[in-house]
Structure 1
């Protein structure tokens, strides 16, 4: 069997997002002892702790110092430097899953000096999302260079992972010979958190009652695709309708500064304990994900979207979160509402029943569960993999 490696550059695997989308799925699927995780960080970044088979290379360069500079030439030079660092820790003949475009570029350059198999774990349409965010100017030298890199990676990879059908269609259009497979974000339900006593305790922590209808948001807020102003308006409308809101975000202080949201009916907090965060999410009724229209809107799924479904929540999805909206239409029409417009507003909402919660979570497990991590590495999952993943879910 080939050595299995998962490579992450410029992102700490100790962060909440990467733990939820990489470390926990590896552990839940029973693959933590088979897969070596290589994390390349700049020297001042905080590394992960308590992770089996983790190799941390603290020789990285902050992306802001090179990304898209000199027409994208610095990106390739830094990727070559990273490839040289990887050469010391990645065994010959490995199957290397590279998270995101820059990591995949470093592995593709490493292939020139060491035989490896590259699995390109794209995560998102990097070029288009940076155009939408204003970091990459259409038609610029850096833009043209990254489009060429994208085409190269799609053609060179043994397999390309997309999170949605729309993203897969885009890649097949760019590189018709690309071997693209759709594996969405991961979410493994923990049915213990769906129990009534856990929900009662979670609502008590937030200051809410059993009869309240609670709308949840989980994740970062910024002035780009997770636009804090758009969400603040949405939350304010929820409160005006008599709903309660639970917002778990690193931007809690900025959000609480909005006088419309500084009310007892709004629980807004930064919570670093993922277990407590998941309990509070599961104590809500609806989860919301909205965004403005962007160049890659059709491919957008969202980690928070699958987290909501895994927690047994009904979902409120903006029409410009394209893959999430399509998932609601095709698989969760009875558990989701698509809200339209650039300034979406909440519809009339009801509580989610116990039976609904369990049904939503179990359907989510079949689509997003940790057993799908076996597909990333082209391994055969054990027949009891889904059950075992649920038992080990945090």
Structure 2
């Protein structure tokens, strides 16, 4: 399938929301809330494709298979009632209601007009609470029931054939995402000394989740649509610790952190369901030394590891890791001048053989303050070493894709702020 085409894609998104709430004290610290919320989301995707005309040397022959118009609007009215209580050390609250949604979609493709309109009546719930043990120590928790509606391209029968190896088409019977989300955070941080730590965690469990449904023919061409599935979830958590020490004109800052995530996903390939379990973890360290107002040196390092295990899939597992080492320096001498450097090294195993897996990136800038330091003129040079890379490998529950894109390399910017 030889392509010599150009496609123009215009996308617009508008979001509006408003609400009215009435609060009535019930007793000491207890408050009743009655209200209504309204939210409107609109989106348009207008695609026009042209084939190359060898006689004129221009892209001017309309390609109807690459030309389509999609629009979607989601209007939701949510009457709700809630209770909240607030004391000196804690507060608790909960809101419950019913969301009434008009979900309207329209498409024009190959001369055919499709209108898909649905109405949903779904629950709305949110609960939250915070307890403060001391001035610096507190715990916070939140629960919410979330609904996310599909896009127009996911529900309308319009084929996206822009990729010769993969065709996407919507499913008119697709239902929205419905999930329960929980979040918990413990914080112990002294703002006066800029020292402390926090621990957080949470998760989402899906009653209904939009996943891909793919079929692959003998020529390896993929046709993908969408369906709903239950039994998937996501868990995440992390922690960070920071400390600041001041010794005369020297200030030392230390920061350690780690975050991790576990996802269970499902999907279909040729009508066979597969299961994907993804685990990722990213520890990091950041150090800063400030010498008065003259010099700042900030080294940092992070390591990211991700592994996905599959059941009933073409591969058993896939994994990758990324090292990132960075050094930032800022010099404020001589007076009025600001000289900054950002030097980094990245190694990414998540790149296929044949592509360069590591690179150095050095950005440098020189600025001058004038007019009583109210204005800053800066010259910044990006990618001094001319090594910036754009080779990436993307791992999803259904695909492992390697690609390399064109990026700007070694260029200069001027700014006045």
TM-score computed with the length of structure 2 as normaliser: 0.25
TM-score (norm 1): 0.26
Higher relative contact order, structure no. (Cα contacts within 8 Å, ≥ 6 residues apart): 1
More helix by proportion, 1 or 2?
A: 1
